[in-house]
Structure formats: C-alpha cells, structure tokens
Amino acid sequence: MFIRFALAAFLALPATAVAEQLLADFEGADYSGWTASGTAFGTAPARGTWPNQQHVGGFRGNGFVNSYLGGDGATGTLTSPEFTVSQRFLNFLVGGGAHEGQTCVNVLVGGQVVRSAPGRDDEFLNMATLDLGDFTGKTARLQIVDSATGGWGHINADHFVLSDRAATPPITKRAVDTSRLYDETHRPQFHFTAQQGWHNDPNGLVFFAGEYHLFFQHNPYGREWGNMTWGHAVSPDMVHWQQLDHALWPDRTGTMFSGSAVVDRNNTASFQTGKEPALVALYTAAGGTSEESKGQPFTQCLAYSNDRGRTWTKYAGNPVVPNVGDGDRDPKVFWHAPTKRWVMPLYVGEKDPVKKDAKGNPTTRHVCHFYTSPDLKVWSFASQFAEELYECPGFFELPVDGRKRDSRWVLFGASGDYWLGRFDGREFKAETAKLKGNYGANAYAAQAWDDLPDGRIVYLDWMQGGKYPGMPFNQQMGVPLELSLQTTPDGIRLVKWPAKELGSLIANAESVTVPTAAGRHELPAAAKELLDVELEFIPGTAETVTLELRGQKLVWNAKAGELTAFGRKLPLRPAARSLGRHTEKPWNGSVRLRVLLDRTSLELFGNGGVTMASFCFIPAVDPGAALTIESGSLAKARLTARTLKSAWVK
Ligand code: FRU
C-alpha cells in the first residue's frame, strides 16, 4: 500500500509549462569554456565509448563527458564557467563510478561543494536532479570530478539543464560530513542506522573473509521511502559498522528491491576471476517504480562481486527469474548441500483460487514459491507454500534443543511470524500453524546470516516505524539475534537472544538485589541511557510488577501471565530454569525479562528469548528507573544492569 502510494505521488507530475536553461550539452569541438585539470578528461568531449570501456549509452546528441580517456587510473576535474542559479533544479545525465566525492558531479557555491551526485557503477548515463533551491540567485560552478583510480574510477556526464521541474526525485543531500554523524540526539548508539536518508529492510546478509556484510534498502536522496538502492556496510562483529559506497543502483529494469547474497564457494556461476570466490547478490528489479523503468515488470536479477562486495556487476543475462505473479520479490537464496542445489524462496502475489472479494472478484494471496538452481543463473520452479506469508520470506534449518539429528526448517515472512516443518530440497511441509515471532510494534522484514562458519543463525530485523525528528537519517535496524529451537511447554518454539558480540559494548555491569516488598523502589543502576538490563523474580503474592525505564512502564500481571508494554502484550509466565537462553543461571520457577534500551528503541526478551517484542520510541528526558511491586510481595528478585558504550565511538 505504502509503496504504491509513494509511487503514484511521484509519477503524477503536473503538466504546466517548464522554464529551462541549457548550461552545457558538450556538442562542440572543445569544452566551450570549461576548464580541465589532470588527464582523465582530455581537451574535448568524448563521442562514444573509449577503448577497453564497457559500452556507454544514454548520452544526448554526439558529445558528452567521459573520463575513461586514460582508463580508470587517470584522474582530473572539469570545471564550468560561472552561472547564476536561475531555476530551482539542475537536471543532468550521469554515469560511471559510484564513489561518492570521487567520481561525481559537484555544484560549487563560493568555492564550496554544496551538492554532489556520483555515478552508479553503470556506464549508462541516467537522469539525475539536484535541488538548488537554497541557492537561487547565487553564482555557482559545476565541477565534474574523477579522483578515483580503482574499479569504476571514472565518470560520465552530459546535458546540464536548469529547470523549474525536477526530472527525477531530487538528490537533496549535501556533501557528507561524517565527523558530525552518529552522535545526534536521536541517533541509536548500538543499532545500525544509515548515515543519512531513509532505510528499510536488511538485504544480502553474508559473511565473507572476516567481514559481516549488511546491505540495506536505502533512499540516498531523502528521508522518506523511495529510489530504492542497496546501501552497504561491513562489520567485524555485527555490532560496529562501517558504511561503504552503495552497492546496487536503480537502472532501467527498476529500483533495487530486497534480496540476498551468497558466497559462491564452488564457483557454480563461473563469475570468479581471482583466488577468492565471488559474492553473488540476488535482488528484485522493481520495474515501474521509477520514471526510467516505467512499464517494466518486477523480476529477479543477479549481480556479482570479485572484490569482497566493494563493486558489483549486474549479470548480462538478467533477469534470472521472469515475472510470475504480482509484485514478486525478495529472493532469499541459500545452498542446500544434500541436493547440491541453490534454493530460492520468493514472495509472490497470486490469484487466490477460492477467495473472492465483496464484489465477487478474485483476490490476491501472498505466498512463497520455491525455486532451485545448479548455478544461480538458471532457476526452475519447485513448489509453493500457499499460506499467507506476505513479503521477505526467510528460511533456514535449526537443530531442536541443540540435537543435530533432530532439526526443523523455519519459514518466516516479513511480520516475523513463522512455521516449523520439513524440507526435502524442493518442498516445505509445515508441521505447525503460523506462530508468533514478535509481540511488539516495530519489527519487520528480517533476514538472517545463515552461512556463518560457527553454524549460528543470526537474525536482523528492520525496526519499522520509528520516528527520528530532525535527524539526517530515518529508521533503524534491530540488534543481531541468535536463533535456536527449543521444546517449550507449548511445543517447539523459535528462541531469539541478543548475539554474544553485543557483550563487547558492556562498559559496566552491576548486580543488584532488588527489594521484594510492595512499593516503588528506585533503581539507580538502571537509570542509564544505553542499557542491557535483566530482571528475574520468583512471584509471591504481588499482583503486578512494573519495571519503569526512561518513562516507559513495563507491567507484568501475575494473573494474566503477561507483560504489557506500549499497549501490547507479551506472554510471560514463571518457567523452568531450562527454558530459553540465559547469561546467569536462572532460578527455577522465575519470571525473566531482559531489556535492551537504546536512544530510540527498546527490545524485550521474555524467559530467555522464548517471547520477544520490539518497540521504537523517544524516551522521556529523565533517565530514571524504578521497580514497583503492587498488592503483595515477591518471593525473590534480582536485577543486573549493564551499561553499554556506543558502537560508533572508535
Ligand atoms: C518490505 C519491502 C519488500 C521490498 C522492499 C522495498 O519492507 O516492501 O517487500 O522488496 O520493502 O523497499
């Protein structure tokens, strides 16, 4: 719904007269007053593809700027004469490298870079727009920069026009000053956020050569959803992240929707060029979600990288799975060793064979198709799981109670709800009804690292729906969670527990014996901004127990056997000490609650992660903490408060 609305708003451009001024079209025999430095730009516009360059297309007329003249190694700048910013938007064509600040078109005002647009690791020149509204009437220059010497170390540009109409969604960002990022008022300190702009789903979670990769649905140009591009970050531990250049840019087949990435260890796709295996990303090209992909369908495509994910090449044979239904998307690919095949669960909207709407028209059901492939390029339909799952399927195998011989497959959708069952390499047969994955309000579209050397499955969700007023970024990820399957009194359940790597953030740990008598007890040890707190108690006669952190009340009700937080309910009953995970050996028959508190979020784990809830909120300024025991007392209680450090401070 949300995506459709945003799209419709973008495509509905008004049809009034356009005021335009052509600044440069590079059709002349020389650069017509532009000044070149270095060697990359030569002395005159290019007229096509240079030797050894992939085919260049998309420029207007015969001449354009192409800094591949001396190959990727050559560098230089090309600077325009001064002009007056007479219209709000600068529309132009840009291609070549996606190195921000290094292969880009800059707008200079007073000698400072005020706007910047890189290429997209694509030789084709795509339309781009910069919003110069802040500089109307000022004198400016354009500068085309090529200071990169490695892969995609060149820039293509053409046809600069000042206009009162944006030809594409404008790039609103200024050149990034990273020194000021990560300590803003509402910047989460141990949850991943993009430096700037909107992000949603985690994509392409893969571990390779000592690095955890996190790609993510990103809008490089604004704080709202749109222009979906794969952002990229790497980490040695899933906690400390470094954001890199974008990995996949929109193209004529669509914007880049969610997908996954794998290490092609056996070189099944033959993309490997050096000693190390290639990384291969399977993504959805969301046709029709941009001006340049109008009329195209949603398809599944692949791209590969031979430099540890730093640069990506889209496969010439794309798409690898054609459009099969309505909005097919979010391929999650993994290697199934017993059948020696790649397997791809894919979300597909298809006509419901039975259900009709109120007017008798067929309805759409949102299911999961399974495809298999020997080489990541050729895919065959294997089966479908026809339960309502909606977007972003996730699928992996886990031992039950740690016993290798007794395992189940877990299939989940974007809501986090899941089924447990068996999988033979082609078909998933559920053995449970749909089970609840998260009792909170802010967890969506998770994906898992499912190919880790230590065999763990680590899961990361998008904490959908948080608010970040005044921030350069919008949205945050959850913390990485280790998954396991455990037999509980209700049956086998998926247990989620903060990944052990978060332990590296502990600045101080304090164990407190908490009063058990009725009343309100201040908890100075938990009155902190960044916190990992564990409360354990053996109920007595108390009817309610309320843990208050940063102005939020987490209320446990003895009779109901549940905890209420932000108006939602999390099942939480006294349990055997063997239930769930723990950091300190639990008491038998206790209630256990772990809370991770960051600047704008709170994640709750009930009884060692057997139940979980995620919430985004902006805490009250007062960081006070208290425990209130009402209408009776507790038999026993203890609390451990771990103060956490920021993951962004080096
Ligand atoms: C889930 C989702 C995916 C899609 C992506 C687009 O949040 O809608 O299904 O691929 O976001 O950004």
**What is the spatial distance between Cα 263 and Cα 335, in angstroms, rounded to a whole number?**
9
Examine residue 99 and state whether it is found in any structural domain, yes or no.
yes
Q: Which amino acid does the sequence have at 196? A: Q
Please state the rounded mean pLDDT for residues 18-26. Answer: 91
Mean pLDDT of all residues belonging to the chain:
93
In the numeric block, the tokens 């600069």 are attached to 160
pLDDT computed for residue 35 by the predictor: 96
pLDDT computed for residue 12 by the predictor: 40
C-alpha of residue 113 to centroid of ligand 1, in Å: 33
486 - beta bridge partners?
493
Q: What total number of domains does the chain contain?
A: 2
Q: Which residues contact 198 (CB under 8 A, 6 or more apart)?
A: 218, 219, 222, 223, 224, 225, 226, 473, 474, 475
By most ligand atoms within 8 Å of CB, the mutation choice from 200, 229, 366 for ligand 1 is 200
**What is the spatial distance between Cα 284 and Cα 328, in angstroms, rounded to a whole number?**
8
The DSSP string of 157-178 is EEEEEEESS-SSS-B-PPPP-G
Q: Which amino acid does the sequence have at 218? A: H
Each residue's pLDDT tens digit, 275-301: 999 999 999 999 999 888 999 999 999
CA of 259, closest atom in ligand 1: 10
CB atoms inside a 10 Å sphere around CB 543: 14
**What is the spatial distance between Cα 294 and Cα 288, in angstroms, rounded to a whole number?**
4
Q: Report yes or no: 382 and 372 within 8 Å, Cβ to Cβ.
A: yes
Please state the rounded mean pLDDT for residues 384-398. Answer: 96
Of the pLDDT bands very low, low, confident and very high (cuts 50, 70, 90), residue 19 is confident
CATH number at residue 593: 2.60.120.560
Examine residue 342 and state whether it is found in any structural domain, yes or no.
no
User: With 90 as the cut, is the pLDDT of residue 111 above it?
Assistant: no
Q: Report yes or no: 432 and 491 within 8 Å, Cβ to Cβ.
A: yes
Each residue's pLDDT tens digit, 469-526: 999 899 999 999 999 999 999 999 999 999 999 999 999 999 999 999 999 999 999 9
Return the sign of the alpha-carbon dihedral for residues 162, 168, 169, 171.
negative
CATH number at residue 27: 2.60.120.260
By most ligand atoms within 8 Å of CB, the mutation choice from 329, 460, 461, 475 for ligand 1 is 329
User: With 80 as the cut, is the pLDDT of residue 56 above it?
Assistant: yes
User: With 50 as the cut, is the pLDDT of residue 6 above it?
Assistant: no
User: Looking at the annotation, which residues are catalytic?
Assistant: 201
Examine residue 207 and state whether it is found in any structural domain, yes or no.
no
C-alpha of residue 465 to centroid of ligand 1, in Å: 14
146 - beta bridge partners?
76, 103
User: With 60 as the cut, is the pLDDT of residue 11 above it?
Assistant: no
Q: What percentage of the chain carries pLDDT values higher than 90? A: 83
C-alpha of residue 132 to centroid of ligand 1, in Å: 30
CB atoms inside a 10 Å sphere around CB 163: 18
Each residue's pLDDT tens digit, 610-647: 999 999 999 987 778 999 999 999 999 999 999 999 99
Q: Report yes or no: 401 and 384 within 8 Å, Cβ to Cβ.
A: no
Side-chain-side CA neighbours of 605 within 13 Å: the count stands at 28
H or E stretch at 260: strand 255-263
CA-nearest residue, atom 8 of ligand 1: 391
In the listed set 163, 197, 214, which residue is the last one of a domain according to the structure?
163
H or E stretch at 602: strand 601-606
Each residue's pLDDT tens digit, 135-187: 899 999 999 999 999 999 999 999 999 998 887 777 755 445 566 688 889 99
In the listed set 109, 139, 163, which residue is the last one of a domain according to the structure?
163
**What is the spatial distance between Cα 598 and Cα 189, in angstroms, rounded to a whole number?**
6
C-alpha of residue 116 to centroid of ligand 1, in Å: 27
In the chain, what is the greatest distance between 2 CA atoms, to the nearest angstrom? 90
Backbone angles phi, psi at 380, to 5 degrees: -120, 140
Of the pLDDT bands very low, low, confident and very high (cuts 50, 70, 90), residue 423 is very high
In the listed set 106, 138, 163, which residue is the last one of a domain according to the structure?
163
Q: Which amino acid does the sequence have at 153? A: G
User: With 80 as the cut, is the pLDDT of residue 16 above it?
Assistant: no
**What is the spatial distance between Cα 420 and Cα 87, in angstroms, rounded to a whole number?**
58
C-alpha of residue 396 to centroid of ligand 1, in Å: 20
Q: Which residues contact 283 (CB under 8 A, 6 or more apart)?
A: 203, 204, 230, 248, 256, 257, 258, 259, 300, 301, 302, 303, 331
Backbone angles phi, psi at 9, to 5 degrees: -65, -40
Each residue's pLDDT tens digit, 569-620: 999 999 999 999 999 999 999 999 999 999 999 999 999 999 999 999 999 8
By most ligand atoms within 8 Å of CB, the mutation choice from 217, 227, 462 for ligand 1 is 217
CA of 284, closest atom in ligand 1: 10
By most ligand atoms within 8 Å of CB, the mutation choice from 392, 442, 463 for ligand 1 is 392
C-alpha of residue 389 to centroid of ligand 1, in Å: 14
CA-nearest residue, atom 9 of ligand 1: 391
Each residue's pLDDT tens digit, 218-276: 998 889 999 999 999 999 999 999 999 899 999 899 999 999 999 999 999 999 999 99
Going by C-alpha positions, the residue among 344, 343, 474, 483 that lies closest to residue 416 is 483
Return the sign of the alpha-carbon dihedral for residues 79, 80, 86, 89.
negative
Please state the rounded mean pLDDT for residues 33-43. Answer: 96
Q: Report yes or no: 204 and 612 within 8 Å, Cβ to Cβ.
A: no
Examine residue 367 and state whether it is found in any structural domain, yes or no.
no
Continuous H helices in 167-236 = none
C-alpha of residue 344 to centroid of ligand 1, in Å: 17
- Of residues 554 and 165, more confidence is placed in 554
Examine residue 112 and state whether it is found in any structural domain, yes or no.
yes
Examine residue 568 and state whether it is found in any structural domain, yes or no.
yes
CB atoms inside a 10 Å sphere around CB 604: 26
Examine residue 92 and state whether it is found in any structural domain, yes or no.
yes
Encode 171-208: b = buried (16+ Cβ within 10 Å), e = exposed.
bbbeeeeeeebbeeebbbbbbbbbbbbbbbbbbbbbbb
Q: Residues with beta carbon inside 6 Å of ligand 1?
A: 3, 200-201, 217, 228, 257-258, 284, 329-330, 391-392, 414, 445
Please state the rounded mean pLDDT for residues 453-477. Answer: 96
Examine residue 60 and state whether it is found in any structural domain, yes or no.
yes
Instruction: Collect contacts of 341-344 with beta carbons under 8 A, ≥24 apart.
Output: 341/372, 341/373, 341/374, 341/425, 342/262, 342/268, 342/372, 342/373, 342/374, 342/375, 342/376, 343/370, 343/371, 343/372, 343/382, 343/395, 343/425, 344/282, 344/300, 344/370, 344/371, 344/372, 344/373, 344/379
**What is the spatial distance between Cα 532 and Cα 548, in angstroms, rounded to a whole number?**
14
The 8-class DSSP code of residue 135 comes to: G
- Report angle CA 577, 579, 582 to the nearest 5 degrees: 75
Note down the domain range covering 92. 5-163
User: With 90 as the cut, is the pLDDT of residue 112 above it?
Assistant: no
CA of 329, closest atom in ligand 1: 10
CA of 347, closest atom in ligand 1: 9
